[in-house]
Amino acid sequence: MRMSRAAASLPLLLLVVVALLAAAEARRHKDGDEKACDKGWECSGSRFCCNDTITDYFKAYQFEELFANRNDPSLAHAAGFWDYQAFITAAALFEPRGFGTTGGKEVGMKEVAAFLGHVGAKTSCGYSVATGGPLAWGLCYNHELSPSQSYCDNSNELYPCVEGVEYYGRGALPVYWNYNYGVIGQGIKQDLLNHPELLEQNATLAFEAAIWRWMTPMKRKQPSAHDVFVGNWKPTKNDTLSKRYPGFGATMNILYGDLICGQGSIDKMNVIVSHYRHYLDLMGVGSDNAGDNLDCADQVAFNPSSKNLDS
């Protein structure tokens, strides 16, 4: 029995259609074009866009476990302010740059635990016999309760103090001084120099400012806290001579400098390390997987100074 000419041409037609679809898909994946992902993340050329996002491995119940007493009416000073959605909304702005999306799921979980370890330690009102222990009281504050000064540096011409405005500590990683409000505000496109109070009025902005600090180098040719934690940074000879190595310890060096680092095994440093390790346990990663170079007891500060973001 003879096949008709139309029937014989069908296989060829199908091959042409398949080839055209393949070419179209290849064009979609061409460098610089938007990638096709199934996670609802709109890609804009980011190499992280098809990786797990923070909501894939860090859920609301885990946030509640990490900050179990933040809304306790008897002790918490920012009850009702901090929540999971505020963190996730802020974090999503930095996921295309690698925050929580670098190096696979475990590295992402460790980075979230590391960042929140700093946040928890810096906003804690926990003490040794507090309910749940001293590590269960992160996000107790959203601003400094009894400022010792206005934190105005009149010598700074780039970000001069605004009359009547005080620059005491506010936020998830508390910000101090007019010049720090100025540079962070510029980074997140908010007028924090004139309105530093935004960091104690809007939890999403408070987390956004903190993650911006985590992701941004203090100076050119220096790493960010993110870089030293996820392995993007390779120490120079001068770094190794200064005992600066990749790991959690170097994140403290970048964020706090000689206020915490290079002073031996002091309580202020150990509390931050303890929060990080505790959060790793709560998130199921385990404190045994905290990594090397956890402290900065012997590190020389990247930027020795009496004033920095945390002073």
Q: Which range in 11-15, 20-24, 300-304 is most confidently predicted, on average pLDDT? A: 300-304
| C-alpha torsion 29→30→31→33, nearest 10 | -70
- pLDDT above 90: percentage of residues in the chain: 75
Question: pLDDT tens for residues 66-96?
Answer: 999 999 998 999 999 999 999 999 999 999 9
Pick the more confident residue, 238 or 132: 238
CATH code assigned at 196? 3.30.20.10
Structural domain count, the chain: 1
Nearest to 192 by CA among 210, 180, 203: 180
Residue 214 within a domain: no
pLDDT over 50 (residue 3) = no
Looking at residue 201, what DSSP letter applies? T
Angle, to 10 degrees, between the axis of helix 178-188 and the axis of helix 203-215? 90
Residue type, 261: C
Say what the pLDDT of residue 52 is.
87
Asked, for residue 163, whether it belongs to a domain, the answer is: yes
Is 261 within the bounds of a domain? no
Residue 239 belongs to some domain of the structure: no
End-to-end CA distance of the chain: 90
In a domain, 100, yes or no: no
Q: With 0.75 as the threshold, say if the pTM is over it.
A: yes
List, as one string, the DSSP characters of 57-85. H--HHHHHHHTTTTT-TTT-SSTTT--HH
Tokens of 239: 């770094």
Identify whether 133 is part of a domain: no
Question: How many residues does the structure list for the chain?
Answer: 311
The predicted structure's pLDDT at residue 146: 93
Q: Which tens digits make up the pLDDT trace of 236-295?
A: 999 999 999 999 999 999 999 999 999 999 999 999 999 999 999 999 999 999 999 999
- 116 assigned to some structural domain: no
Residue-wise pLDDT for 172-214, tens only, equals 999 999 999 999 999 999 999 999 999 999 999 999 999 999 9
pLDDT digits (tens, 9 = 90+) for 136-184: 999 999 999 999 999 999 999 999 999 999 999 999 999 999 999 999 9
Structural domain that includes position 204: 142-209
User: Which of residues 149 and 29 earns the better pLDDT score?
Assistant: 149
**If pLDDT is split at 50, 70 and 90, which confidence band does 24 have?**
very low
Confidence of residue 39 (pLDDT cuts 50, 70, 90): low
CA dist 105 and 177 (Å) reads: 36
Torsion of CA 82, 93, 311, 80, to 10 degrees: -10
Give buried/exposed letters for 101-112 (b at 16+ CB in 10 A, else e).
bbbeeebbbbbb
Does 252 reside within a domain?
no
Is residue 97 over pLDDT 60?
Answer: yes
